[in-house]
Structure 1
Amino acid sequence: MAPTPGLLCVRSRITSEALSDAAFNDWYTNHHLPDFISSGVADLALRYKNADASKMWQYLALYRVPDIGFQSDPEKIKAIRMNHETLPNGGNITDFTELKANMYLPIQSFEGTNPNTERAKTLFIAEIEPEQGTDEEALGDFYEKQHFHMLSMHHQYHRSNRFKTADGSKPPFAALHEFDNADLDQRMRTTMNATKWAKNIEGNAQMLEISCWELITEQGKIGENLIVDAALRVS
């Protein structure tokens, strides 16, 4: 059976006073991410911190997964250690944190006419459940024919990638947009959201959640896009 590439998205937050923020970041960046890369589960791993400290989820990890079938491979799962000597009493990370994992499948990738291949420092994630009756193709048309191009007009823009949840969970779609920083001017925001198409798609969505994340580290095939399938690139 041919491998099915995907994107594993893991949000996390510390729930125990026994685990300091410094210890958590040391474990995650210096041990957990390398485990994903060395095990072969992922070939690219990114870590982010929430730009809004008041939000529930403090951190985000993204793993480019060559084959989501790793989930049924006990040897690969075993190689990703959840216990570690750097954690309190050598414990399991789940004793001190809450983790939320989602597996996504790639559907669209866009880099514009002047692609910036360096890793952007800021990531915006727009998760959407469109209005009932709006199918995947119609949503894709909005991004491909208008939204991506409007985003790319901003001088801080790098690239965008779109995914859908592998298990159909909601919100079913996520668009990941990379920018140099989070300070998008209000004029640009207003322009993007003012079109009739944007108002129809976003204004009528059953759910639309936008979050902003700041890059901590990238490991593995650094600098590469989260989607490598050329067939999914739009222009």
Structure 2
Amino acid sequence: MAGVDKPLPGKKPGILFANSKIKKPDQLSKEEYTRWYEQVHIPDIFKTSGIKEASRWTALDPSQDRPFLALYPLDDLDFLDTDEFKAIPVHDDNLPGSGEIFDLADFDTRYYKLAQLYEPENAKSGQPDFVIAAAFTPTDDKEYDAWYRQEHLKEVSGLTGWRKTERYDLTFARQNRSTGEDNKLPEPPKFLTLHYIDGESLPEKELAKAAESERTKKNLSEMKATQMAIFKKLAQFQK
């Protein structure tokens, strides 16, 4: 399925990327975390003016440090700097202990500016089944961008079930918001790509083949930083 570059939507489009884990499983179960996220947190987010869509994902690799991912597309990334966004509650009386989610779960939160939207002319609506999150800091930014645009996107768009690819530039990263906690993370990779794929399972052999070209191997081997993870859809929400 061939893809094309699409015009970027919105004023300053981007995405809020929240990768998390339960850090006190003796106090907070996966079921309670899901209840808080889907029945409390996302409804609170939707009360704001700047976020109208959300999706939740779980890592395919059970050993992944942060197995939960939430994605929030934005028409205007500057909304994340507003008092309205910063006022979204992080406390719930039904949570154990202090009731503050940051005491129970750990969040790697990143703000990304949309740099490229690559999808078929007649793109499907709705949330795909899988997302491959590939974050990189290349040695040569220009070659990295050219590799994607000239070769790699064409390879990925040939995958069975490929829906679309979004490419992003990192603008901000932090860990949690609670006071007195170490908010310093290792410097995250500079760029993020989200490959969305439909299907009951991933086309593993095709994915491996898409990384076999000499240019792809060279770019991947020369990355200064690489973070790769595959997530399966849990739920999708719209305002």
Common topology (TM > 0.5): yes
Give the deviation of 1:154 after TM superposition: 1.8
The within-5 A match list for 1:44-55 is 44-55=53-64
CA distance in 2, matches of 1:9, 1:152: 23
CA distance in 1, matches of 2:157, 2:98: 46
CA distance in 1, matches of 2:34, 2:112: 24
Equivalent position of 2:194 in the other structure:
176
User: Which amino acid is the alignment partner of residue 79 of structure 2?
Assistant: F
Pair 1:217 & 2:226 matched: no
Equivalent position of 1:75 in the other structure:
84
Partner SS, residue 47 of structure 2: helix
The within-5 A match list for 1:2-151 is 4-16=12-24, 17-78=26-87, 80-89=88-97, 91-112=99-120, 115-131=123-139, 134-135=140-141, 137-151=142-156
Equivalent position of 1:153 in the other structure:
158
Is there any run of 5+ residues in structure 1 with no aligned partner, and where? 222-235
Give the deviation of 1:113 after TM superposition: 5.1
User: Structure 1 117/199 Cα, relative in aligned 2: closer, same or farther at 3 Å?
Assistant: same
Pair 1:197 & 2:206 matched: no
User: Which amino acid is the alignment partner of residue 52 of structure 2?
Assistant: D
- 201-210 vs 44-53, greater mean Cα deviation: 201-210
Is there any run of 5+ residues in structure 2 with no aligned partner, and where? 1-9, 174-186
Give the deviation of 1:155 after TM superposition: 2.1
| Higher helix fraction (1 or 2) | 1
Equivalent position of 1:231 in the other structure:
none
Give the deviation of 1:167 after TM superposition: 4.0
User: Structure 1 206/72 Cα, relative in aligned 2: closer, same or farther at 3 Å?
Assistant: closer
User: Structure 1 90/66 Cα, relative in aligned 2: closer, same or farther at 3 Å?
Assistant: farther
CA distance in 1, matches of 2:231, 2:37: 16
Taking only aligned residues, the RMSD between alpha carbons, in angstroms, comes to 2.1
Q: How many residues align?
A: 215
User: Which amino acid is the alignment partner of residue 196 of structure 1?
Assistant: E
Q: Is the 1:23–1:86 contact (alpha carbons within 8 Å) kept by the matching residues of 2?
A: no
CA distance in 1, matches of 2:79, 2:161: 36
Partner SS, residue 53 of structure 1: coil
Q: Is the 1:112–1:149 contact (alpha carbons within 8 Å) kept by the matching residues of 2?
A: no
TM-score by length of 2: 0.82
Q: Is the 2:20–2:67 contact (alpha carbons within 8 Å) kept by the matching residues of 1?
A: yes
TM-score by length of 1: 0.83
User: Which amino acid is the alignment partner of residue 161 of structure 1?
Assistant: E
CA distance in 1, matches of 2:188, 2:23: 25
- 24-33 vs 88-97, greater mean Cα deviation: 88-97
Give the deviation of 1:93 after TM superposition: 0.3
Partner SS, residue 26 of structure 1: helix
Q: Is the 1:3–1:69 contact (alpha carbons within 8 Å) kept by the matching residues of 2?
A: no
Kindly, what percent of the aligned residue pairs are identical?
Answer: 22
User: Which amino acid is the alignment partner of residue 115 of structure 2?
Assistant: I
Write out per-residue CA displacement over residues 80-130 of structure 1, whole angstroms, 9 at most, x where no aligned residue.
Answer: 211113312561101111111011111011113563334211110111111
User: Structure 1 8/114 Cα, relative in aligned 2: closer, same or farther at 3 Å?
Assistant: same
CA distance in 2, matches of 1:75, 1:42: 11
CA distance in 2, matches of 1:73, 1:109: 26
User: Which amino acid is the alignment partner of residue 53 of structure 1?
Assistant: P
